[in-house]
Chain A
Amino acid sequence: MSDTTQNGPMLAADGTPLKRSLNRALRRQKLRALMLIAPLLIFVLVTFIAPIADMLFRSVENQIVSDTLPTATEVLEDWDHTTGTPPGEEVYEALYYDLYLAAEARAHTRLGTRLNYEYTGVSSLFRSTGRGLEDLGEEYQDILEDADDSWGEGAFWYELMTGTGDTDASLVREHRARLQALENARLTGDVGFAPSVEIMELLPQTTFAYTDFAVFTALMDEDVVAEEDPWEGVYAGLAQDLQTADLSGYDGPGAEALVAAQQTLAEQAEPINYTAFFESEDEDWLNPDIWATIQTYSSNYTGGYFLNAVDMQLTPDGIEMRPDGQRLYMVLFQRTLFMSLTITLSCILLGYPVAWLLANLPASKANLLMILVLLPFWTSLLVRTSAWKVMLQQQGVINDVLVWLGLVDDAARLVMINNQFGTIVAMTHILLPFMILPLYSVMQGIPPSYLRAAKSLGATNWTAFWRVYFPQSVPGIGAGSILVFILAIGYYITPEIVGGRTGTFISNRIAYHISSSLNWGLAAALGAILLAVVLLLYWAYDRIVGIDNVKLG
């Protein structure tokens, strides 16, 4: 004792303090344990946690609007939708150049699809306008090129925009970031262009458009900027700049051509008017409702999908209930919950006696019975569902037998499929093994002597069962119910095949939005709500029954 309580810390054999040595050993052990479970941990993270996190993120993500129309949404912030008038020229101007780059990157239609979920008709508005954007610039391009061929030469343009003095690469960086957001990819590589400071001040809109062109040409097309003719949109920018530019102090490259161009345009061309251009493309661009929708959905994150998922909507005037004829999801959530509970209940009612038999019959008979339980379990889900179709339909086996027996009139055969009843029957059958197996394993652990003891003490059969046997089997019911309920609430294939009009689940709508309407945001919101409902019920179950009482085997 006295040896170990010397002054100073205890030392291990190698002379290090024992505490540190012990910690190191423990850490190594923990690390080894972690490495052992690493494959499973990584697997779970990658295939389970990550997709759920991704889904939760998608249900609020809305960057597409500000990524596609960065300038326009910024300018639009000052616009007041309650005035009932369309926004001013500066918004249309910003929209033109935003949309031009988006159309080159083929991203404008994606935004159209997104906004079409909120306002019908935006899809074709963006698609058709995207095709006509070049027309505005082409008008000026033709006039300029007729007057002076050099306006059609890429090299001339490049020289003009690069100038001879200082250049500023910050604009190029900005536009590269814009394009990256549009393409949703990291774009590496050298643009090989930076506008001169002088030109940037003199011709701001032209520089803006030309930089878009340069970034796209260099990074997406992988061409040399100086060798390519600029986009039509650049000419529109030039026409706008030359309306007001004071060229008297400029003597850089192309100075003469610019002065001549200013004169030619003043004589031959109408002053540029973006509002009129968009109106000529489609009158809907003057519709304040369209702009209000864009404004409402211009933030990077939105609760809009979640509101849609509970039959509400985000409007420019705030949150509203959807009109009467369009409320769908609450009905489906209620139906999904109700039917899942019904299925769980029927599984308990049907599964309990079977599990009791399994646990109490002699081994040879119990094994045979077990095979009968497991055999359908091993059969394909589709086969079992289709089999119920054959059984339950109006010209099906059950109806035929009932008609043959004379219990049902041939003209009034029972409708048992393509409705709630059919879904409940088929799903109860499919999920039954998930109830029987945990029940069976729990019942096997209940000594039969308890029942005999109860009876010998004077209990009736019913009392012995209800007061002695049943309470001990509750953990099995709990486990089976949780399994069946959670499986049922997310079921998709069976309700799709036999559910008809009244027997479909919320998951069928989720599948529709994933694979057909491509409204992944709404699908994610519906999925997130479903997940929340399951967790909530699980929590409630834990509070009421106690999760420690659940035995899975």
Chain B
Amino acid sequence: MKLTQSFLAGTALALVAGTVSAQDMTFVSWGGAYQMSQQKAYVEPYVEANPDVSVTWDESSAEAVARLRAMNEAGNITWDLVDVVAADAIRLCDEGLAMEYDPEDMLAPADDGTSAEDDFGDMIVSDCFIPQIAYSTTFGYRTDMVPEGVDAPSDICSIFDLETYPGRRSLERRPINNMEWALYCDGVAKDEIYDVLATPEGQDQALAKLDTIKDDVIWWSAGADTPQLLADGEIFMGSTYNGRLFSVIVEQEQPVAMMWDMQVFDLDGWIIPTGLSDEKLEAVKDFVYFATDTQRLADQAAYISYGPARESSAPLVGEHAELGIDMAPHMPTNPENAENTLLYNYEFWADYRDDIDAKFQAWLAQ
């Protein structure tokens, strides 16, 4: 009897909780400093203005595509707003797992009246992708390990130059970016990289170039690896996301410097999963409208060195919230840093990812 009663009470509670939690939203992000910047710049001001809303974070962005696919198959989507890189947004859109949206309708115009579509411009790389920030994959190096009498590395091809810059490197354990850098340093012109990489000969050429440093590379799979390896002095130079290097250099004050040459720009943003209830969708849309306006995107840059995706936000980027340093010089989009850059080629990698990855992994395993 007692058991039945408590069971009934539990059910009743769950039911009540069910109706109350209509404004309880689950956001998915990457954890760490990045998620914290979203919490501070978007969620805290939003919740302050809408006290009935509560937000739960799920740090699953790295496997968001697989998780959403599994949730979709099980017919139970438990996420309301998901932060993913642009390439994953395209895949989610392809799989019908992300909702297509109309920027005019769902996003706020800029303060001067420019429409959201124009303000974000090319950043909207997919019909489902709501851009947030531009980040880049770039190199950091130990300043105290630069050989004497040699200039600090400022050219991407110094990663392949073991004579001038001896020491180990770290590169991501996947073909994307590495293949481009290899071809570029093997003399392929920048605008021909993808034409060359589309051919089997071009792929072999890139792997042959990578072969020259294969034994001196530690291959990372988590963005935190390179900063750690740099801090430990395990490597001389390594690639990772620019925001990670920012925290090594500025927040942890390690003897590390940036090498921005041929940084690869990529985008990160939100997608809304398909199949949300109307009520949930309204709540999510309301949040997205707020969180992607000009001021909010600029605010995020006060916590992390990623560039806001809106053109109108760039002039509003100010100082770091805690350290009080000017953030503009640390942005990947800063003109001085962006003299020679590459843009992640979504179309190319959507097609060639499986093929080239198979070759790359086979090459790695040998």
Interface residues of A (CB under 8 A from B): 105-107, 109-110, 112-113, 116-117, 120-124, 127, 184, 325-328, 331-332, 335, 393-395, 418, 496, 500-502, 504, 509, 514-519
Interface readout for B86-100 with A: 1 if CB under 8 Å, 0 if not?
000001011110000
With a CB–CB cut-off of 8 A, which chain B residues contact A500? 218-219
7 pairs of residues in contact across A and B, judged by CB atoms under 8 Å: A105-B96, A109-B93, A127-B94, A331-B365, A335-B365, A393-B234, A518-B65
- The complex places the Cα of A331 from the Cα of B355 at a distance, in Å, of 18
With a CB–CB cut-off of 8 A, which chain B residues contact A502? 365
With a CB–CB cut-off of 8 A, which chain A residues contact B91? 113, 518
Across the interface, do A120 and B95 meet the contact criterion of CB distance under 8 Å? Answer: no
Across the interface, do A328 and B365 meet the contact criterion of CB distance under 8 Å? Answer: yes
B114 at the interface (CB under 8 A from A): no
- The complex places the Cα of A187 from the Cα of B220 at a distance, in Å, of 46
- The complex places the Cα of A332 from the Cα of B96 at a distance, in Å, of 33
Name the contact of A120 in the complex, choosing from B352, B361, B362 (C-beta under 8 A): B352
Across the interface, do A519 and B233 meet the contact criterion of CB distance under 8 Å? Answer: no
- Contacts A123-B350, A325-B363 given; does A109 touch B358 at CB 8 Å: no
Name the contact of B233 in the complex, choosing from A116, A120, A327, A395 (C-beta under 8 A): A395
Chain A: minimal CB distance from B235 (Å): 9
B354 at the interface (CB under 8 A from A): yes
With a CB–CB cut-off of 8 A, which chain A residues contact B347? 124
B35-79 contacts to A, CB under 8 A, are 62-63, 65-66, 69, 73
Across the interface, do A518 and B363 meet the contact criterion of CB distance under 8 Å? Answer: no
Across the interface, do B94 and A112 meet the contact criterion of CB distance under 8 Å? Answer: yes
- Contacts A326-B362, A332-B365 given; does A117 touch B351 at CB 8 Å: no
Across the interface, do B357 and A517 meet the contact criterion of CB distance under 8 Å? Answer: yes
Counting chain B CB atoms within 10 Å of each CB, the highest count among A123, A500, A517, A519 belongs to A123
Across the interface, do A123 and B365 meet the contact criterion of CB distance under 8 Å? Answer: no
Across the interface, do B351 and A124 meet the contact criterion of CB distance under 8 Å? Answer: yes
With a CB–CB cut-off of 8 A, which chain A residues contact B73? 184
B364 at the interface (CB under 8 A from A): yes
- Contacts A120-B355, A124-B347, A500-B219 given; does A113 touch B361 at CB 8 Å: no
- The complex places the Cα of A113 from the Cα of B362 at a distance, in Å, of 22
- Contacts A121-B351, A123-B350, A518-B65 given; does A393 touch B232 at CB 8 Å: yes
With a CB–CB cut-off of 8 A, which chain B residues contact A418? 218-219
Chain A: minimal CB distance from B215 (Å): 9
With a CB–CB cut-off of 8 A, which chain B residues contact A120? 351-352, 354-355
Interface residues of B (CB under 8 A from A): 62-63, 65-66, 69, 73, 91, 93-96, 204, 207, 214, 217-219, 221, 232-234, 347, 350-355, 357-359, 361-366
With a CB–CB cut-off of 8 A, which chain B residues contact A124? 347, 350-351
Chain B: minimal CB distance from A420 (Å): 12
**In the complex, which residue of chain B has the Cβ closest to the Cβ of A111?**
B94
- The complex places the Cα of A502 from the Cα of B361 at a distance, in Å, of 11
- The complex places the Cα of A516 from the Cα of B173 at a distance, in Å, of 13
Chain B: minimal CB distance from A280 (Å): 19
Chain A: minimal CB distance from B338 (Å): 28
Chain B: minimal CB distance from A285 (Å): 15
- Contacts A116-B351, A123-B350, A393-B234 given; does A326 touch B66 at CB 8 Å: no
Q: Chain B interface mostly helix, strand, loop or mixed?
A: helix
Chain B: minimal CB distance from A535 (Å): 26
- Contacts A395-B232, A515-B66 given; does A110 touch B351 at CB 8 Å: no
With a CB–CB cut-off of 8 A, which chain A residues contact B357? 517
With a CB–CB cut-off of 8 A, which chain B residues contact A393? 232, 234
Chain B: minimal CB distance from A333 (Å): 11
- The complex places the Cα of A124 from the Cα of B347 at a distance, in Å, of 7
Name the contact of A514 in the complex, choosing from B66, B232, B354 (C-beta under 8 A): B66
- Contacts A116-B351, A123-B350, A496-B221 given; does A328 touch B95 at CB 8 Å: no
With a CB–CB cut-off of 8 A, which chain A residues contact B62? 515
- The complex places the Cα of A331 from the Cα of B66 at a distance, in Å, of 26
- Contacts A418-B218, A501-B219 given; does A326 touch B359 at CB 8 Å: yes
With a CB–CB cut-off of 8 A, which chain A residues contact B354? 116-117, 120, 517, 519
Which 4 residue pairs across A and B have the least CB separation, nearest first?
A: A109-B94, A106-B96, A328-B362, A120-B355
- The complex places the Cα of A501 from the Cα of B73 at a distance, in Å, of 34
Name the contact of B361 in the complex, choosing from A105, A112, A123, A328 (C-beta under 8 A): A328
With a CB–CB cut-off of 8 A, which chain A residues contact B217? 501
- The complex places the Cα of A496 from the Cα of B173 at a distance, in Å, of 11
Chain A: minimal CB distance from B240 (Å): 16
With a CB–CB cut-off of 8 A, which chain A residues contact B365? 328, 331-332, 335, 501-502, 504
**In the complex, which residue of chain B has the Cβ closest to the Cβ of A112?**
B94
Beyond the given A120-B351, A328-B365, A518-B69, could you list 5 further A-B residue pairs with CB under 8 A, ordered by the A residue number?
Answer: A325-B359, A326-B358, A332-B365, A501-B364, A516-B65
Across the interface, do A123 and B219 meet the contact criterion of CB distance under 8 Å? Answer: no
With a CB–CB cut-off of 8 A, which chain A residues contact B93? 109
**In the complex, which residue of chain A has the Cβ closest to the Cβ of B72?**
A184
With a CB–CB cut-off of 8 A, which chain B residues contact A514? 66
With a CB–CB cut-off of 8 A, which chain A residues contact B350? 116, 123-124, 127
With a CB–CB cut-off of 8 A, which chain A residues contact B65? 515-516, 518
**In the complex, which residue of chain A has the Cβ closest to the Cβ of B225?**
A497
**In the complex, which residue of chain B has the Cβ closest to the Cβ of A522?**
B354
Counting chain B CB atoms within 10 Å of each CB, the highest count among A106, A110, A335 belongs to A106
Counting chain A CB atoms within 10 Å of each CB, the highest count among B66, B94, B217 belongs to B94
Counting chain B CB atoms within 10 Å of each CB, the highest count among A124, A501, A504, A519 belongs to A501
With a CB–CB cut-off of 8 A, which chain B residues contact A117? 354
With a CB–CB cut-off of 8 A, which chain A residues contact B361? 328, 509
Across the interface, do B363 and A113 meet the contact criterion of CB distance under 8 Å? Answer: no
With a CB–CB cut-off of 8 A, which chain B residues contact A112? 94
Chain B: minimal CB distance from A499 (Å): 9
Counting chain A CB atoms within 10 Å of each CB, the highest count among B347, B351, B363 belongs to B351
Across the interface, do B96 and A515 meet the contact criterion of CB distance under 8 Å? Answer: no
Chain B: minimal CB distance from A445 (Å): 43
Across the interface, do A328 and B234 meet the contact criterion of CB distance under 8 Å? Answer: no
With a CB–CB cut-off of 8 A, which chain B residues contact A116? 350-351, 354
With a CB–CB cut-off of 8 A, which chain B residues contact A518? 65-66, 69, 91, 95
Chain B: minimal CB distance from A507 (Å): 14
With a CB–CB cut-off of 8 A, which chain B residues contact A394? 234
Chain B: minimal CB distance from A414 (Å): 13
Chain B: minimal CB distance from A494 (Å): 13
- The complex places the Cα of A332 from the Cα of B355 at a distance, in Å, of 18
With a CB–CB cut-off of 8 A, which chain B residues contact A519? 354
Chain A: minimal CB distance from B266 (Å): 16
Chain A: minimal CB distance from B256 (Å): 15
Across the interface, do B355 and A110 meet the contact criterion of CB distance under 8 Å? Answer: no
- The complex places the Cα of A496 from the Cα of B351 at a distance, in Å, of 26
Chain B: minimal CB distance from A492 (Å): 12
With a CB–CB cut-off of 8 A, which chain A residues contact B355? 120
- The complex places the Cα of A122 from the Cα of B219 at a distance, in Å, of 30
- The complex places the Cα of A332 from the Cα of B362 at a distance, in Å, of 9
- The complex places the Cα of A395 from the Cα of B218 at a distance, in Å, of 14
- Contacts A325-B204, A395-B232, A519-B354 given; does A110 touch B94 at CB 8 Å: yes
